[in-house]
Amino acid sequence: MFAHFAIIAARMVKIMAPEDGVANDLITNSARKTDVEYVVDSQLPKGQYNLQLEELSINGASLEDIKKYMSTCSSLRSISSEEIKNVINALSFKKADDEISDLKSGAYTFALIFANDVESLKNLEGVDRIQHIRFYLFTKKEDADKYGVPFPGVLAYSTADRNWLKMPFRGKLDALVASISIPAFSPISQENFRYFQSLDQKLFYVIDSARSFEENKNDFNEVAKQCSSFAKFIFFTPEDVPALIPLLKLQSSDYPILLSLAREGKGIVRSLKPETFLNGVQSLITQSAEKIVFSSNIPEDNESRPVKVLSTETLPQVLSSSDKDVLIAFTSPSCKFCQALEPELKDFGKILSERNVPILVGNYNIMENEEPASQFEIAGVPTIYFLKKGASTPSKVPSNIRSVPQLLEYISKEGTTSKINLDEYSEYLKVQEKAEPSESEHSEHAHKEESEEDGQKEIL
């Protein structure tokens, strides 16, 4: 997944100052729909569940009780399938009246898990370490049917915004805890930051001025709660994400906006109102909202620059119609290795330009542009590709080739229109080369691309 998602992550970096790559890790969010009641053309899951706390009945086993029956086992993951089945058959607990009263008071966050398959139960390993949520297990499908919950599934009550959540149980305990713990509509904070790292729900962003947000937040929150079983909404001011605003080409009259940066398609809803909120979410899910394509602005003096600015819009033309060799660096402004490469690349381009060597040297900012064509494999930045004139497939330049002397030597061997005689460049080859990071160090610190199964993630 591409790092333009990380533009919004800049806000998280500002708050949390995480190590390199954490913000990008946050930006991949699985886009699975929940198998629950739908509204608006059968596409938008209805997350808000209107069960009254007074109607709650608990005849399932607490997970602490279940572990008592596994006294011979040190781990849920180590127990055999047959032993789990025996435990399931033995479960017939009735919770004490005072415990039910506690839950009905609305003062506690709790989750009712409906499952009886071996893998689901094994994935509950570690639930005893979750202190702020009470868990109960129901092993009969008719119990799930009673509450209209998928099987396996979860019905949870969150005190974070006094809301019910009804969703499938996909076997990821950390993701389940995050879904329950994060309010439907909130800014990023130190308290909820770690939960976003595990969240596997859809993410949408509301961007508005702080003053307008204060005026609308209660109304927005009530509507957002209806979607909490499958999505969360994060609030930012334009000042929080200054790099993103120019890419969206926003006018002051566009605020507040609702934004999706989903892998399957990015979209925007402008001039958002509480009464248009659900329709806006619906249009983003169905990709019928206004589309967004990120593309760097091309400077007026681009043609005279030693390193050309390339964008989503200009890259295809450069690849298909260039009458010379092309060398492209894929970089990110926040990457220290990219920052070290920038002056080397500029000097390299300037040297060749002054000697009229037929080559296009370009830079593609992955923060401001879409993911390039499939012939480029960008697993980290910086990554450099070289395309010979007339070739259809670019070649990846080895990651230990980053200095001016190394780049000159590379094109002397690989170039077509840019092939040079190194003897004529001896003055530049004598320059003391800077120490280059090792292959393993480069890999460790590079901005990693996320690859989650059927996934989309997006936290700014």
- One domain for residues 99 and 190: no
**What's the rounded Cα separation, in Å, for the pair 78 and 193?**
31
**What's the rounded Cα separation, in Å, for the pair 329 and 380?**
11
**Are the beta carbons of 37 and 45 closer than 8 angstroms?**
yes
Looking at residue 9, what is its pLDDT? 46
Entry pTM: 0.70
Closest CA to 375 of 388, 400, 393: 393
Segments of 115-264 assigned E as strands: 134-138, 153-158, 163-168, 185-186, 202-207, 231-236, 257-262
- One domain for residues 163 and 226: no
Across residues 222-246, what is the average pLDDT? 90
**What's the rounded Cα separation, in Å, for the pair 407 and 386?**
11
- One domain for residues 196 and 318: no
Band (160; pLDDT cuts 50, 70, 90): confident
Band (178; pLDDT cuts 50, 70, 90): very high
Looking at residue 47, what is its pLDDT? 44
Express as a percent the part of the chain with pLDDT over 90.
40
Instruction: Write down which residue in 269, 292, 315 finishes a domain.
Output: 292
- One domain for residues 165 and 209: no
Looking at residue 118, what is its pLDDT? 76
Backbone angles phi, psi at 167, to 5 degrees: -160, 160
- One domain for residues 316 and 247: no
Check whether 335 has a pLDDT greater than 60: yes
For residue 71, what is the domain's CATH number? Answer: 3.40.30
Across residues 31-57, what is the average pLDDT? 39
Is 282 among the domain residues?
yes
Backbone angles phi, psi at 443, to 5 degrees: -65, -40
The answer to whether the bond into 152 is cis (omega within 30° of 0) is yes
In tens, the pLDDT along 340-360 reads: 999 999 999 999 999 999 999
For residue 270, what is the domain's CATH number? Answer: 3.40.30.10
- One domain for residues 59 and 169: yes
Is 226 among the domain residues?
yes
Band (95; pLDDT cuts 50, 70, 90): low
- One domain for residues 280 and 311: no
> What DSSP character marks residue 449?
P
- One domain for residues 255 and 210: yes
In tens, the pLDDT along 187-227 reads: 888 888 888 888 889 999 999 988 888 888 889 999 999 99
**Are the beta carbons of 90 and 114 closer than 8 angstroms?**
no
> What DSSP character marks residue 387?
E
Q: Which two tokens stand for residue 377?
A: 């494999």
Structural domain boundaries, residue 280:
182-292
* Domain count of the fold of the chain: 3
CA 273 from chain centre, in angstroms, equals 26
- One domain for residues 277 and 311: no
- One domain for residues 215 and 147: no
